[in-house]
Structure 1
Amino acid sequence: QRTVKLMEVCRLRSTPIMTFINKLDREGRDPMELLDEVESVLKIDCAPMTWPIGTGRRFRGIYHLLNDRIQLFERKGGEWLSAARLINGLSSSELDEAIGTDADLLREEVELVRGASHGFDAESYLLGLLTPVFFGSALNGEGTPELMDAFVTHAPSPVPRHTDARVVDSEEQKFTGFVFKIQANMDPAHHDRIAFLRITSGRFSRGMRVYHVRTGRNIQLNNAVTFMASRREAAADAVAGDIIGLHNHGTIQ
């Protein structure tokens, strides 16, 4: 239900969305069924960018639909051993030698996927009408580099922000940012209070001094943090579009 609500918010704001279907190394539902469910429940078109070679214990690699390339993972006893083996071309005899009869099954699945699914369209993605879909196992780092590469290539740059005085462009060198949320007691052991700041332009570096518009004073940003789920880390540097957390005792409102 939370995912459905988040999708509704993204739809209202035309926010681009990328989808990663995780845990392919565990037994689960058929990938085609999952694509159908995403489209029917979340009301968004799916464009598969990668396709899993097997699932569960038979999960052996990823096929890249856009560049016709296969990545086979090396495993022993369920453990990831080394960098993936690359094979160019779904029709390659090297693929048959590597995975045997599974090669023909993969070719059949890919033919079905290409015929039944949407192709990737950058404009539809940026409008929030289509989501590129990736498969893999995040725990083992399998399939995640493709997601990150696509994010770097296709995700929109930070947009300009309107202020009372002017429009701040994300490519400006001067550091600017705005606080959009203040959260108390994120760490019950310390009863802390964090101000979430989105960087609008420029670059943050630990210890820098900035001008606080509301108070008219300069403040030093020594203990900024970044967040990943419930984990937090000290922020050494950040750029436009990034979000950092500032420890706050009431100065920032």
Structure 2
Amino acid sequence: MARTAPSQTVGFDEPSVLAEAQRRRTFAVISHPDAGKSTLTEALALHARVISEAGAIHGKAGRRSTVSDWMTMEKERGISITSTALQFGYRAPDGTDCVINLLDTPGHADFSEDTYRVLSAVDCAVMLIDAAKGLEPQTLKLFQVCRHRRIPIITVINKWDRPGRDALELLDEIEQRIGLRPTPLTWPVGYAGAFHGVLDRRTGEFIHFVRTAGGATIAPERVLSAGDALTIADAQWTTAVEECELLAADGADYDRDTFLGCTTTPVLFTAAVLNFGVSQLLDVLVHYAPAPAAQLDIDGEPRRLDDPFSAFVFKVQAGMDTSHRDRLAYARVCSGAFERGDVVVHAATGKPFTTKYAQSVFGQQRTTMDVAYPGDVIGLVNATALRVGDTLYREVPVHYPPIPSFAPEHFAVARAADAGKHKQFRRGITQLEQEGVIQVLRSDLRGEQAPVLAAVGPMQFEVFAHRMATELNTPVELEPLKYTIARRTRPQDVAELQAQRSVEVLTRTDGALLALFADRWRLAAIEKEHPDLVLEPLVAAA
């Protein structure tokens, strides 16, 4: 697999920092499971010519796994269960030179917390919709996170090569259910299941797609005039033209201000598995997606792009390199220029932090990163002191807002299957908690050898158990608990709560006291009987 590193301009004066920031496009792809998110991610890398061949995975034995799905469980199941960064350079056909920071996110609802952390580090989102299914529950949930964070959204209606719903019907659903006005940039020529190409609404031209074997290589495109399109596509071209005229009459045309204001969404149609419509998406990201802007600190004050270097950690991941068992902290650069080897300040401790081992990440592959600018994602190797939400800075202090944890709804007691491996067990628990794989709750009653794991979804337990066994060589036994609700409480309320039936109070690693309840009826009964108790909902993402 061939890969070229993004070109960098060395030189850390202010004009250089601002110019380099303008070249960055940092975005995430969000969707419901099985909408084709990882396939689209790899197709974008293919069209940017940083890989030579795409390998879509659909959970079937013998298929090639995608670049962004590198964990064993991802390859076996054909789903994304952890977020991944892909950084590469791309030169658009008009010569515009960009550095792409693409963050592939888990689609499964059980990993919403990981997706939320990624969305804290991007400037734009690509919302992928299945042409047959339309807006699905996880897509809606992630859209709400984007709305909360004021992240502009580009909508991609995927799988147009398969039978699906009417294009106008899908646009109506988007507007009615999430309140974003769709403004299509391309329009399909051919109904879902008979995809010939797209009408580019900006030029009026027909972009005709040609299939390749298995969709593994870039699909050739022919750009044709309206007259030639009528000869080739006949009635389907006529229908596309008429529907575009309806869109124009309805005012559904792209407007940059409303897009960046998060009230409209540009729309494109693709068949990612065939690499149809992918180059159009790349060019829209280059020319329409926003470049990095000033980041707000914890006090709501903007940190200018040309201020001294600062970044925040949005993800920690171990187990990517099985040979070295190292640990990687992903940090989004917010201001200034980064140079490998810089000694910066870890805001949480006030201690110096050396960035000697800084890397550019491309899925599981990594290369040394010498310089980085606002919008870039840096991989810091063996950064054991760093946690999710930590801030790094140079010269001028700054502290970015912490990344909140989701409210857990599933709980289980974890024990080492081999009692003789209690030290490895505790190290593994600490590592996976720091990565954000799981939340860990403890109490004196249960002890260190039987912590309670708290998760947004049950699949997190599967990932935890799998990684403990395969990466850390410490198989575990999990005992599900019947709690479903957690509330934050105060030290003075612990004794009263512990005396209640079907209630348990434990301490999270960050010091928060969490009271666990069997169900909402039990919670309601206790609140009614003891109105003086403080039982605060845990703040989730949106």
Q: TM-score, normalised by structure 1?
A: 0.80
Distance 1:78 1:198, change over 3 A: closer
Of structures 1 and 2, the larger Rg is shown by: 2
Structure 1 position 204, deviation (Å): 5.3
| Maintained 8 Å contact 2:355/2:380 | no
For 1:35, give the aligned amino acid: L
1:104 alignment partner, SS class: helix
How far the C-alpha of 1:211 sits from its partner, in A, is 1.6
- Distance in 2, matches of 1:232 and 1:95, equals 43
- Contact 2:185–2:254 (CA under 8 A) maintained in structure 1: yes
Superposition map of 1:146-161 within 5 A: 146-161=280-295
Does the alignment pair 1:4 with 2:137?
no
Moved more, 49-58 or 217-226: 217-226
Instruction: Give the 5 Å matches for 1:128-143.
Output: 128-143=262-277
Structure 2 Cα separation of the partners of residues 235 and 203 of structure 1: 18
Give the counterpart letter for 1:31 in structure 2.
A
SS state at 2:162 partner: coil
Paired letter, 2:146: C
Structure 1 residues 149 and 82, CA, compared in 2 at 3 Å: closer, same or farther?
A: closer
**In the alignment, is the contact (CA less than 8 A) between 1:46 and 1:117 conserved in 2?**
no
1:224 counterpart residue number: 359
- Following TM superposition, by how much is the alpha carbon of 1:157 offset from its aligned partner in structure 2, in angstroms? 2.1
Match of 1:47 in 2: 183
Deviations 1:44-72 (Å, cap 9, x if unpaired)? 11111100111344210011112212101
Identity of aligned residues (%): 30
Supply the distance in 2 between the matched residues of 1:36 and 1:30 (Cα, whole angstroms): 10
Structure 1 residues 3 and 212: CA distance shift in structure 2, 3 A: same
Q: How many residues align?
A: 243
Counterpart in the other structure of 1:120: 254
- Is the Cα–Cα contact under 8 Å of residues 219 and 275 in structure 2 kept in the other structure? no
Query: 1:11-30 to 2 correspondence within 5 Å?
Result: 11-30=147-166
* C-alpha displacement of 1:31: 1.2
2: distance between equivalents of 1:139 and 1:221? 39
Q: Counterpart of 1:52 in structure 2: which amino acid?
A: P
Residues 209-240 of structure 1 show CA distances to partners (whole Å, capped at 9, x for unaligned) of 1223035435234353536xxx4331554532
Counterpart among 194, 199, 207 of residue 58 in structure 1:
194
Residue of structure 2 in register with 1:102 after alignment: 236
Q: Distance in 2 between matches of 1:78 and 1:99?
A: 23
Structure 2 contact 219–276 (Cα < 8 Å) conserved: no
Q: Which residue of 2 aligns with 1:85?
A: 222
Distance in structure 1 (CA, Å) of the matches to 2:321 and 2:365:
17
- TM-score, scaled relative to structure 2: 0.40
**2:151 is paired with a residue of what secondary structure?**
coil
- Mapped partners of 2:251, 2:342: distance in 1: 49
SS at match of 1:209: coil
Structure number with the bigger relative contact order (C-alpha 8 A, sep ≥ 6) is 1
The answer to whether the 8 A contact 1:211-1:218 is kept is yes
Q: CA deviation at 1:119?
A: 1.6
Listed one character per residue, the Cα deviations across residues 140-160 of structure 1 (whole Å, up to 9, x for unaligned) are 322122222222222222122
Deviates most, 67-76 or 15-24:
67-76
Distance 1:94 1:37, change over 3 A: same
Separation in structure 1 between the aligned mates of residue 296 and residue 284 of structure 2, nearest angstrom: 29
Q: Which runs of 5+ in 2 are unaligned?
A: 1-136, 388-542
